[in-house]
Chain A
Amino acid sequence: MLDQTDSYQTADGRTIGPVVMEMKNITLRFGGVEAIKDISFDIREGEIRAIIGPNGAGKSSMLNVISGFYVPQEGEVWYKGSRRPAMKPFQVARQGIARTFQNIALFEGMTVLDNVMTGRLTHMETGLFAQSLWKGKAEAEEIANREVAEKIIDFLEIQAIRKTPVARLPYGLKKRVELARALAAEPTILLLDEPMAGMNVEEKEDMSRFILDVNDEFGTTIALIEHDMGVVMDLSDRVVVMDYGKKIGDGTPDEVRNNQEVIDAYLGVAHD
Chain B
Amino acid sequence: MAKPLTRADGPASVPALLHRNAEQFADAPAYREKEFGIWQSWTWSQTRDEVEALALGLLNLGVNEGDFIAIIGRNRPYLYWAMVAAEMVGAVPVPLYQDANAEEMAYVLDHCGARFVIVGDQEQVDKVIEVQEDLHQFEHLIYLDPRGLRKYDHTTLHQYSHVQDQGRAARDEFIKELEARQAKLDYDSTGVMLYTSGTTGKPKGVVLSNRNIIETAKSSSAFDGLRQTDDILAYLPMAWVGDFIFSVGQAMWTGFCTNCPESADTMHVDLREIGPTYYFAPPRVFETQLTNVMIRMEDAGRFKKWLFDHFMAHARKVGPDILDGRNVSQMDRFKYNLGEFFVYGPLKNTLGFSRVRVGYTAGEAIGPEIFDFYRSLGINLKQLYGQTEATVFITAQPDGEVRSDTVGVTCPGVELKIADNGEVFYRSPGVFVEYYKNPESTADTKDAEGWVATGDAGFIEEDTGHLRIIDRAKDVGQMANGSLFAPKYVENKLKFFPNILEAVVFGSGREQCTAFINIDLTAVGNWAERNNIGYASYQELAQHPQVLATVKSHVEEVNASVAQDEMLSGCQVHRFVVLHKELDADDGELTRTRKVRRRIIEDKYSDIINALYDGSDEVSTTTEVTYEDGRKGSISATLTICDAAVSVVAAKMAAQ
- A-side residues, CB < 8 A to B, are 12-14, 113, 146-147, 150-151, 153-155, 157, 159-160, 162-163, 213, 216-217
B147 & A150 in contact (Cβ 8 Å cutoff): no
A147 & B36 in contact (Cβ 8 Å cutoff): yes
Nearest-neighbor residue (CB-CB) of B122 within chain A: A213
Nearest chain B CB to A89 CB, angstrom units: 30
* Most A C-beta atoms less than 10 A away, residue of B35, B36, B147, B263: B36
For this complex, into which size category does the number of interface residues on chain B fall?
10 to 19
Q: How far is the CA of A66 from the CA of B416 in the complex (A)?
A: 77
With A153-B37, A162-B37 known, 13 other A-B pairs at CB within 8 A are A113-B37, A147-B36, A154-B36, A155-B147, A157-B263, A159-B262, A159-B263, A159-B266, A160-B263, A160-B269, A216-B150, A217-B147, A217-B150
Q: Would you list which residues of chain B between 147 and 175 have a CB under 8 Å from chain A?
A: 147-148, 150-151
Q: How far is the CA of A151 from the CA of B263 in the complex (A)?
A: 14
14 interchain pairs (CB within 8 A)? Answer: A113-B37, A147-B36, A150-B36, A150-B37, A151-B36, A153-B37, A154-B35, A159-B37, A159-B262, A159-B263, A159-B265, A159-B266, A160-B265, A160-B266
Q: Point out the residues of chain A lying under 8 angstroms from B38, CB to CB.
A: 150
Q: Point out the residues of chain A lying under 8 angstroms from B151, CB to CB.
A: 12-14, 216
B147 & A213 in contact (Cβ 8 Å cutoff): yes
Q: Point out the residues of chain B lying under 8 angstroms from A155, CB to CB.
A: 147
Q: How far is the CA of A73 from the CA of B77 in the complex (A)?
A: 59
Q: Point out the residues of chain B lying under 8 angstroms from A159, CB to CB.
A: 37, 262-263, 265-266
The 8 closest A-B pairs by CB, nearest first: A160-B265, A150-B36, A150-B37, A160-B266, A13-B151, A159-B262, A159-B266, A159-B263
Nearest chain B CB to A197 CB, angstrom units: 23
A213 touches which of B148, B263, B265 (Cβ 8 Å): B148
* Most B C-beta atoms less than 10 A away, residue of A12, A155, A217: A217
Nearest chain A CB to B278 CB, angstrom units: 24
B148 touches which of A160, A163, A216 (Cβ 8 Å): A216
Nearest chain A CB to B159 CB, angstrom units: 14
Q: How far is the CA of A150 from the CA of B37 in the complex (A)?
A: 6
Q: Point out the residues of chain A lying under 8 angstroms from B35, CB to CB.
A: 154
Nearest-neighbor residue (CB-CB) of A149 within chain B: B37
Q: How far is the CA of A113 from the CA of B38 in the complex (A)?
A: 13
Nearest-neighbor residue (CB-CB) of A158 within chain B: B265
Q: How far is the CA of A142 from the CA of B269 in the complex (A)?
A: 24
Q: Point out the residues of chain A lying under 8 angstroms from B148, CB to CB.
A: 213, 216-217
Q: How far is the CA of A14 from the CA of B266 in the complex (A)?
A: 34
Q: Would you list which residues of chain B between 415 and 431 have a CB under 8 Å from chain A?
A: none
Nearest-neighbor residue (CB-CB) of B146 within chain A: A217
Q: Point out the residues of chain A lying under 8 angstroms from B36, CB to CB.
A: 147, 150-151, 153-154
Q: How far is the CA of A154 from the CA of B147 in the complex (A)?
A: 11
Q: How far is the CA of A165 from the CA of B196 in the complex (A)?
A: 42
Nearest-neighbor residue (CB-CB) of A163 within chain B: B269
Nearest chain B CB to A158 CB, angstrom units: 9
Nearest-neighbor residue (CB-CB) of B148 within chain A: A213
Q: How far is the CA of A160 from the CA of B36 in the complex (A)?
A: 12
Nearest chain A CB to B529 CB, angstrom units: 16
* Most B C-beta atoms less than 10 A away, residue of A150, A154, A162: A154
Contact with A along B338-374 (1 / 0, CB 8 A): 0000000000000000000000000000000000000
Q: How far is the CA of A217 from the CA of B147 in the complex (A)?
A: 7
Nearest-neighbor residue (CB-CB) of A212 within chain B: B148
Q: How far is the CA of A147 from the CA of B35 in the complex (A)?
A: 11
Nearest chain B CB to A266 CB, angstrom units: 28
Q: How far is the CA of A153 from the CA of B151 in the complex (A)?
A: 23
Nearest chain B CB to A161 CB, angstrom units: 8
Q: How far is the CA of A14 from the CA of B150 in the complex (A)?
A: 10
Q: How far is the CA of A13 from the CA of B150 in the complex (A)?
A: 10
Q: Point out the residues of chain A lying under 8 angstroms from B266, CB to CB.
A: 159-160
Q: How far is the CA of A217 from the CA of B149 in the complex (A)?
A: 9
Nearest chain B CB to A12 CB, angstrom units: 6
Q: How far is the CA of A157 from the CA of B148 in the complex (A)?
A: 14
Contact with A along B467-495 (1 / 0, CB 8 A): 00000000000000000000000000000
Nearest chain B CB to A34 CB, angstrom units: 43
Q: How far is the CA of A153 from the CA of B269 in the complex (A)?
A: 16
Q: Point out the residues of chain B lying under 8 angstroms from A157, CB to CB.
A: 263
Contact with A along B260-296 (1 / 0, CB 8 A): 0011011001000000000000000000000000000
Q: Would you list which residues of chain B between 120 and 162 have a CB under 8 Å from chain A?
A: 147-148, 150-151
Q: How far is the CA of A159 from the CA of B36 in the complex (A)?
A: 8
Q: Point out the residues of chain B lying under 8 angstroms from A153, CB to CB.
A: 36-37
Q: Would you list which residues of chain B between 374 and 423 have a CB under 8 Å from chain A?
A: none
Nearest chain B CB to A144 CB, angstrom units: 12
Q: Point out the residues of chain A lying under 8 angstroms from B263, CB to CB.
A: 157, 159-160
Nearest chain B CB to A8 CB, angstrom units: 16
Q: How far is the CA of A150 from the CA of B150 in the complex (A)?
A: 22
Q: Point out the residues of chain B lying under 8 angstroms from A217, CB to CB.
A: 147-148, 150
Q: Point out the residues of chain A lying under 8 angstroms from B147, CB to CB.
A: 155, 213, 217
Q: How far is the CA of A5 from the CA of B150 in the complex (A)?
A: 25
Q: Would you list which residues of chain B between 485 and 511 have a CB under 8 Å from chain A?
A: none
Nearest chain A CB to B486 CB, angstrom units: 40
Q: Point out the residues of chain A lying under 8 angstroms from B269, CB to CB.
A: 160, 163
Q: How far is the CA of A65 from the CA of B269 in the complex (A)?
A: 43
Q: Point out the residues of chain B lying under 8 angstroms from A154, CB to CB.
A: 35-36
Q: How far is the CA of A155 from the CA of B148 in the complex (A)?
A: 11
Nearest chain B CB to A147 CB, angstrom units: 7
Q: Point out the residues of chain A lying under 8 angstroms from B262, CB to CB.
A: 159
Q: How far is the CA of A154 from the CA of B150 in the complex (A)?
A: 18
Nearest-neighbor residue (CB-CB) of B261 within chain A: A159
Q: How far is the CA of A271 from the CA of B336 in the complex (A)?
A: 84
Q: How far is the CA of A147 from the CA of B265 in the complex (A)?
A: 21
Q: Point out the residues of chain A lying under 8 angstroms from B150, CB to CB.
A: 216-217
Q: How far is the CA of A146 from the CA of B35 in the complex (A)?
A: 13
Q: How far is the CA of A146 from the CA of B38 in the complex (A)?
A: 11
Q: Point out the residues of chain A lying under 8 angstroms from B37, CB to CB.
A: 113, 146, 150, 153, 159, 162
Q: How far is the CA of A15 from the CA of B123 in the complex (A)?
A: 24
Q: Point out the residues of chain B lying under 8 angstroms from A150, CB to CB.
A: 36-38
Q: How far is the CA of A150 from the CA of B266 in the complex (A)?
A: 14
Nearest chain B CB to A46 CB, angstrom units: 13
